Amino acid sequence: MEAINFVKYQASGNDFVLIDNRFKEYSFTEEQIQKICHRHFGIGSDGLILLENSKEADFLMKFFNPDGSSDMMCGNGGRSIVAFAKSLSIIDKETSFIAPDGLHTAQIISQEENHSLVKLSLRDVSEISLFDDGQYLNTGTSHFVKEVDDVSQINIKEEGSAIRYDKRFEKFKGTNANFIQVVNNGELRIRTYERGVEDETLSCGTGITASAIAYAEKYKLNQSPITIQSKGGELKVFFEKTAQNTYSNIFLQGSVGKVFDGVINL
């Protein structure tokens, strides 16, 4: 395979390698994806994203975790590919695109040089499962949300992986694990252990969205946005509660920045 041009973006500290694949030049094996995402032997990222053509929308998003797994939505990756599409002049300030879980819309609220503020729609939530130790829901990929007194005291590798591989979630191929701390009314802190990364990430878009909705459901809150502080920065989640355990018009808003571009030869 010849040299491949790529761009690296970060969305609130969640970083991704993005490749323009509109001409279907590239197809990667799991081993190649793992190499690209490896932080010592590759570029280093929380995922690989391919931008491809779509007959149904402005473009198609293909997302791969660092272990090569796919078929799941990534909220911060979705915000990153919107900024990438803008840089390629595929879109202007508003867009619709196809992701692994279906159609999404997005808006670039503001842009200054390599930094953008992007608001992304996410799928409706129609079911929240309640457990003694937390809540389970799907915001494009599966998430477990657990409230704790102090997120800084969590052993994220140990406690996160225990939830990720819990037998309760085997039929979903495991789950992501989110630990939230209530700071003020409508304001949370969060830490997330991501499936596929198999470690903590600085920010997880679908996890932040799931946590905001789980929090709103638990405390019977109807107002939005919910402000969530991750290690990578602040994000806001907007939603409308339409019935018990049911949320629609869900949007995730936060910053996106281009880190650098380059060439890799596999």
pLDDT at 212 over 80: yes
With bands split at pLDDT 50, 70 and 90, how would you rate the model's confidence at 71? confident
Distance CA 121, CA 142 (A): 17
With bands split at pLDDT 50, 70 and 90, how would you rate the model's confidence at 243? confident
Q: How far is CA 45 from CA 39, 67, 190, 199, in A?
A: 7, 11, 20, 12
Residue with tokens 């509660």: 241
Examine the residue annotation and report whether 37 is marked as an active-site residue of this protein.
no
Task: Please determine, looking at this structure, whether the domain spanning 4-122+256-264 carries the CATH number 3.10.310.10.
Answer: yes
Q: Which of 204, 212, 214, 228 is catalytic?
A: 204
Which pTM does this prediction carry? 0.95
pLDDT at 230: 98
Q: Which of 33, 37, 72, 74 is catalytic?
A: 74
Choices 3.40.120.10, 2.30.130.10, 3.50.50.60, 3.10.310.10: CATH for 129-252: 3.10.310.10
Examine the residue annotation and report whether 74 is marked as an active-site residue of this protein.
yes
- E runs forming strands in the chain: 4-11, 14-20, 48-52, 59-64, 94-99, 102-112, 115-122, 129-131, 134-138, 142-147, 176-184, 187-194, 199-201, 226-230, 233-243, 246-264
Please write the tens of the pLDDT for every residue from 142-158: 999 999 999 999 999 99
pLDDT at 223: 84
Tell me if 4-122+256-264 shares its fold with 129-252. Answer: yes
The residue ranges of every structural domain in the chain are 4-122+256-264, 129-252
